[in-house]
Amino acid sequence: METTQVLVVGAGQAGLATSYWLTERGTDHVLLERGRTGDSWLDRWDSFCLVTPNWTLNLPGFPYQGEDPDGFILRDQIAEYVLGYRAFLESYCDQRGLNCDALISASLRQVVKLRRQHQKKYGSRGHQLV
């Protein structure tokens, strides 16, 4: 069984940003995602847009690069931005020679099983599975 220092459950914006900072620290890690990155944004209604201006889109190392910083990004563009961030992170990890197996597809059942195995092995001795 392959081991890793950190296992991040969920590869949405928070999980991807966590991956960035773990990479900055030189920490090997794996992200688990139930579906495809950005898919949860596509579950919203067609005309959905953020209510904060585009210039506020600033995931670590990946600021908004579009032509309308004062506009409001639409649903499909949000999903594209998150997918673009994932691609950026994969390249970022590779450049640093880290094991950042980004986005291993995992079902919720698999994640619960991993948590139970982790608790059985480590109990509450300071090891965290987040």
Domain contains 79? yes
Classify 65 in phi/psi space as left (phi over 0), alpha (psi -120 to 50) or beta: alpha
Instruction: Count the domains in the chain.
Output: 1
* Domain range enclosing 73: 45-107
User: Does residue 45 sit in helix, strand or coil?
Assistant: coil
pLDDT of residue 102: 47
Query: In this predicted structure, which of 39-43, 108-112, 117-121, 125-129 has the lowest mean pLDDT?
Result: 125-129
The pTM assigned to this predicted structure is 0.71
Residue type, 31: L
Domain contains 11? no
Domain contains 66? yes
The arithmetic mean of pLDDT across residues 2-21, rounded, is 82
What are 108-116's contacts with CB under 8 Å, separation 24+? 108/34, 110/32, 111/9, 111/32, 111/34, 114/7, 114/32
